[in-house]
Chain A
Amino acid sequence: MMENTEKLKEVKPMSLPPTSLPSSADSVSGPVRRPDYIQVRDFSFNYTPDVRVLHNITMDIPENEVTAFIGPSGCGKTTLLRNFNRMNDLIDGISHEGLINVDGQDIFDPNLEVISLRKRIGMVFQKSNPFPKTIYENVVYSLRIAGQRDKGILDEVVERSLRGAALWDEVKDRLQQSALGLSGGQMQRLCIARAIANQPHILLMDEPCSALDPIATAKIEELISALKEEFTVVIVTHNMQQAARVSDRTAYFYLGKLIEMDVTKKIFANPSKKETEDYISGRFG
């Protein structure tokens, strides 16, 4: 613990503007929103001992905001995202340095229950991965895991989640059919519905709209904006317009390093780093 606090002091977070958000600036009665809901401190990550894919990342992800991760392919966005709920534990040979705190809690603390951490974090994977079960069972999976049996509640959750993921109208008559019979874009939306079913505190979305048409994308973006009232959202996207539209803050990664993180408007209008500007304006190789 001692070590951790020291580290926290040592490493100064990247300069952030005051946390007053455009939306919450005037709502005084709103809940207290921490600017450092997820703290990343000098975090480095290796898949194999000699392959380091994240280098000394330090950032703060504020509560009830949408944070977008952008950057060229292979720069480590997924890797960082998967560290937040410790999905990388499944891979043999990984190692890390530095700290990640979620809601003030060190997620690498050996006493921490990974399961309870994951229950608070919903995740939409880059590759959609529905279970080979019915649509209904896919959505309620996290509730079933938690032991929820009440049919009424489950039905309600299914409808709310599927509506949220803009899928309800398409599947409401075939809830008991296999999820594997859905189209690629429908599967992706089903995975979103599954991730929000149990109302996690944090929602990690890895390119959630990569297989969606503009209409569904618009709906998902709407959903994301609605979600941030309650959740903290981190979204990885290759779509600059999308990042500009939905996110409050944007982080630009390049070759495993965090190049710049700032309020989205500033990043897109007036980035402080030349690389960021090049990438955003499409001049990047």
Chain B
Amino acid sequence: MVWFSGMWLAIGLLMIVTLLVVIVKNGLTLFWPSEVVQIELVEGSKASIQGASTLAGEVRKRQDKRVLDAEGNVIPELQLFVGNRDAYGFGFRYVDQSDIASQVYPEDIIVAERIEYGDIIGYPVSMKLADGVINADAPDFRQRFESVVGLSNDRRHEIEVIEKKKIGAINYEMQALKLSLRKAELGGGLTDELRTSVEQRTAELQTEYEVLAKQATDLRSAQKAETFVCRLPTGVEREVALGDLMHFYYPNEMGYFDRVGHFFVEIWKFLSEDPREANTEGGVFPAIFGTFVMTLLMSLVVVPFGVVAAIYLREYSKQGPLVRAVRIAVNNLAGVPSIVFGVFGLGFFVYLVGGSIDSLFYPERLPTPTFGTGGILWASLTLALMTVPVVIVSTEEALAAVSRGAREASLASGASKWQTIQRIVLPASVPGIITGLVLSMARGAGEVAPLMLVGVVKLAPTLPLDGDVPFVHLERKFMHLGFHIYDLGFQSPDSEAAKPMVFATTLLLIALVVVLNAAAIILRERLRRKYASSAF
């Protein structure tokens, strides 16, 4: 029996480890700068790009073809990431091993990341700058290239600040002004005074806006003014605006430590940046943030609700058939498919509650819904409802485990029932309650299906917490790592390119759940120690 259960445990552990290894391996390749190989193809190979016999790229995979050749032999092939999606129309190419005439690792080939169309893989030819052309064989070419790309990054950042922050704030205020007028109109308190003051302020904002917009346009044209010329491995020359380049490196020249450095920089970018190009490039920060805030909100709701329900069920209600029925219903609630909760959330929270809130408190914004549409608050409440049985069950268990002796001692000291619960029973149950929270977070953070109905979006323009008053925007839509995975995997235009992103995002989701749970567990251990050793 020991062997038998041990075997199952081992199989379970093995499965988990395999899962993690697969995810880690696939996810981390996204950040590792591998070498770029240039391949000379044999005559008439089907792998040739636009008739050229040369192609170059990063080897992403080596495998045997599904189909056998005429004699029934397996044909090994490799998958190359060839980049230059705008020029080729695709980003990946499969090459049969037998089609390769020769291969080299050219020193001077570069990989350059652009804001659009992914990476360029090719040979630098020249830079057309305002003060003349610099050829790639010039001694200071690299240095200049580096500084020019740095400048264009700074400019891009500046544009972003102007457009997102400054113009965004102006828009926010203008919208608020418009709404205040509309509100006054609806409430019948619209005076000429108010109207003129609003109009005046709006005009001021409009001029401010125009100045900023002009600045942004100027910066944008500066981004396009200078260009970078490169020769693709196929021999074609292309010219791209320097302002589109974000970052470049010489993959075949890098030493091991350069690669490691690059690897961590890329990971940091992935964690901290906004997504670009239909989420297939850039980072996932808004999704991390959204998942985190949603899970936290959910915990804030689910704990008090679950604990109160458990206290009622265990301590106050008369144990009879009715309570037993309620308990069974609660337990079964945990087994209801999550999408059902999504539909409930949509019907109840979004349409009913949200719609009522809108017509009561935000009539001036109608017909645009405020709370009457999916948002982070409704998503959190839906998940809280879905996971509350877990908290109830584990809290009940914890309450039941508090020793009868301690309860009796408290009552014999003249404590009321509530005082006993408050001072003796609940403190002793805190670890159990946190266990329930951990379980509910683990379930809630990984859930996607119901969220799609109540507020998750592919790309949210704003975060649920930011610098605009009132700072917490519970009505906003948000991004979520789980949905991001789904979106990358199934909705992406280039699924091959998105695959490593899927794994990297999955890794991140797992990491986030682990971090949240670890935090809760650490909290529990601290409380447990405190509880065992000192006053609560």
Check if B494 is an interface residue, CB within 8 A of chain A. no
Indicate if the CB atoms of A118 and B411 lie closer than 8 Å.
yes
A90-B408, A90-B411, A125-B408 known; A178 vs B424 contact (CB < 8 Å)? no
Indicate if the CB atoms of B409 and A129 lie closer than 8 Å.
yes
Check if A207 is an interface residue, CB within 8 A of chain B. no
- Chain B residues within an 8 Å CB radius of A181: 533
- Chain A residues within an 8 Å CB radius of B403: 129
Residues of chain A in range 82-133 having any CB-CB distance to chain B below 8 Å: 85, 87, 90, 115-116, 118-119, 121-123, 125, 127-133
Spot the interface stretch: A137-145, A159-167, A232-240, A247-255: A137-145
Count of chain B residues with a beta carbon within 8 Å of a chain A beta carbon? 24
- Encoded as 1 (CB less than 8 Å from any A CB) or 0, chain B from 418 to 458 comes to 01000110011000000000000000000000000000000
Indicate if the CB atoms of A87 and B412 lie closer than 8 Å.
yes
- Chain A residues within an 8 Å CB radius of B412: 85, 87, 118, 121-123, 125, 195
- Encoded as 1 (CB less than 8 Å from any B CB) or 0, chain A from 134 to 163 comes to 101100011011100000000000000000
Contact check: which of B414, B416, B531 meets A132 at CB < 8 Å? B531
- Chain B residues within an 8 Å CB radius of A87: 408, 411-412
- Encoded as 1 (CB less than 8 Å from any A CB) or 0, chain B from 397 to 417 comes to 000000101111111111110
Indicate if the CB atoms of B534 and A134 lie closer than 8 Å.
yes
Q: Report Cα–Cα, A116/B427, bound state, in Å.
A: 25
Q: Report the minimal beta-carbon distance from A60 to chain B, rounded to whole angstroms.
A: 23
Indicate if the CB atoms of A132 and B413 lie closer than 8 Å.
no
Check if B328 is an interface residue, CB within 8 A of chain A. no
Q: Report Cα–Cα, A180/B424, bound state, in Å.
A: 14
Contact check: which of A116, A130, A145, A195 meets B415 at CB < 8 Å? A145
Chain B interface SS verdict (over half)? helix
Check if B88 is an interface residue, CB within 8 A of chain A. no
Q: Report Cα–Cα, A87/B412, bound state, in Å.
A: 7
Check if B532 is an interface residue, CB within 8 A of chain A. yes
- Encoded as 1 (CB less than 8 Å from any B CB) or 0, chain A from 181 to 194 comes to 10000000001001
Residues of chain B in range 498-536 having any CB-CB distance to chain A below 8 Å: 531-536
Indicate if the CB atoms of A131 and B411 lie closer than 8 Å.
no
- Apart from the given pairs A129-B405, A141-B413, 18 other A-B contacts in the complex at a CB distance below 8 Å: A85-B412, A87-B411, A90-B407, A123-B412, A125-B409, A128-B405, A130-B406, A131-B424, A132-B406, A132-B428, A133-B536, A134-B534, A136-B535, A142-B415, A145-B410, A146-B414, A180-B532, A194-B409
| 28 A-B pairs whose Cβ atoms sit less than 8 Å apart in the complex | A87-B411, A90-B407, A90-B408, A90-B411, A116-B414, A118-B412, A119-B413, A119-B414, A123-B409, A127-B405, A129-B405, A129-B408, A130-B406, A132-B406, A132-B424, A132-B428, A132-B531, A133-B427, A134-B533, A134-B535, A141-B415, A142-B414, A144-B423, A145-B414, A178-B533, A178-B534, A180-B532, A191-B409
**Interface residues, chain B, CB within 8 Å of chain A?**
403, 405-416, 419, 423-424, 427-428, 531-536
